[in-house]
Amino acid sequence: MVVRVCHPVGPFRFMGKVVMGFQRGSKQLGWPTANLDPAAFEHVLDAAEEGVYVGWATVSDVRLPEASRTSVHKAVLSIGWNPFYQNSERTVEAFLCHDFGGRDFYDTQMKLIICAFLRPQASFATLEALKEVIAADVEYGIKVLDQPPQIDLSADPFFSDGNEPPTQVSHHTLTQPDSSPRHDRVA
Ligand code: ADP
Ligand code: RBF
Ligand code: MG
């Protein structure tokens, strides 16, 4: 059984490029994730931060339709080593709750605010089980982002700042608020 909570964290602000990953999100899972350049988080996050989180995101690709590049999108994020795949590199990757019409936006600048922890990362018996859990995370994440204090961050000045470099990245760690094992097999 997958238990979700909504524990406010941070908020933590990141800015960096959208980089290429293993291309599994869209093709295998049906959930594309914009992967943040590790340079934007590798000295900020530590191992305890592995988990599924929610937040808000913008992407600034001028080739995207105006609504896609000017709106602040809800984001449901995975932070960690993806235990189902046993990755050797940590990723911070965000499914943005917006229809980009099949367009990619690699190499573009992404701003991310991470504001609440939902659950630890886990491994699953099948790919189908992982897909179902991600679908439920997204459904749950959309709802909690509509509530305060999460919703207030969609209007954070961070998103309306110019394109200056990410000088204000927080150096606090994201604390994982519960003590459940992070790699338990849940399905
Ligand atoms: P990768 O492993 O390279 O991250 P994915 O299969 O996860 O590949 O696909 C992610 C890419 O899909 C993103 O970098 C972005 O360019 C694009 N994309 C399209 N729609 C979305 C969306 N709703 N959320 C996140 N990324 C999206
Ligand atoms: N990967 C895991 O191995 N375990 C998880 O519990 C897990 N949860 C995720 C939840 C969400 C909302 C998202 C978007 C991704 C999650 N992933 C998880 C990451 C997934 O394995 C990854 O996005 C793909 O491997 C593509 O990089
Ligand atoms: Mg991805």
Tell me how far the alpha carbon of residue 122 lies from the centroid of ligand 3, in angstroms.
17
Residue 79 lies in a domain: yes
93 labelled catalytic: yes
Query: Is 32 contained in some domain?
Result: yes
Place of tokens 């931060």: 49
Per-residue pLDDT band at 43 (split at 50, 70, 90): confident
Name every protein residue with a CB atom under 6 angstroms from any ligand 2 atom.
Answer: 21-22, 24-25, 29, 31, 33, 52, 76, 78, 82-85, 93, 95, 121-122, 134, 137-138
Closest CA to 57 of 16, 106, 85: 16
Q: Cβ of 55: how many Cβ atoms within 10 Å?
A: 26
Q: What average pLDDT does the segment 57-82 reach?
A: 95
CATH code of residue 97: 2.40.30.30
Asked, for residue 127, whether it belongs to a domain, the answer is yes
The pLDDT assigned to 12 comes to 94
Q: Considering every ligand atom, which ligand is closest to the CA of 108?
A: 1
pLDDT at 178 over 90: no
Q: Is residue 14 part of a domain?
A: yes
State whether residue 41 is helix, strand or coil.
coil
- Domain extent, residue 121, equals 7-159
pTM above 0.85, yes or no: yes
- Number of domains comprising the chain: 1
Q: Which of 42, 93, 132, 139 is catalytic?
A: 93
Evaluate whether residue 97 is within a structural domain. yes
**Residue 175 is assigned to a structural domain of this protein:** no
Q: Is residue 181 included in any domain, yes or no?
A: no
